[in-house]
Structure 1
């Protein structure tokens, strides 16, 4: 999922460089949402993994 967030971030940067504001803002928003989902899943994984003794 982090790979998708980075991919959309790169698409947003390239679109912003070429002047496609709408595409850049859409890709940036998708990248931001995926990044926060990744962070939440990472925290859950660390908390519940520690409880199981892994």
Structure 2
């Protein structure tokens, strides 16, 4: 059970990272669950920081 929960949260983080790389706004987060939304936003923030540092274009 714990593995499934971790996988869902990891997927949310990855989806948020991809959204941040594509330049989507954080308001486009598709998750309603607090934990998943938090993970998505964390990934989104990482991607935005990476883009600002010039790691991706």
Displacement of 1:27 = 0.2
The 5-angstrom pairing of residues 34-53 of structure 1 reads 34-41=47-54
Aligned residue pair count: 36
Q: Normalization by structure 2: what TM-score?
A: 0.48
Aligned to 1:23: 36
Structure 2: runs of 5 or more not aligned: 1-19
Q: Which stretches of structure 1, 4 residues or more, deviate above 6 A after TM superposition?
A: none
The structure carrying a bigger helix percent of its residues is 1
Aligned to 2:24: 6
Q: Normalization by structure 1: what TM-score?
A: 0.50
Task: Give the RMSD, CA atoms, in angstroms.
Answer: 2.8
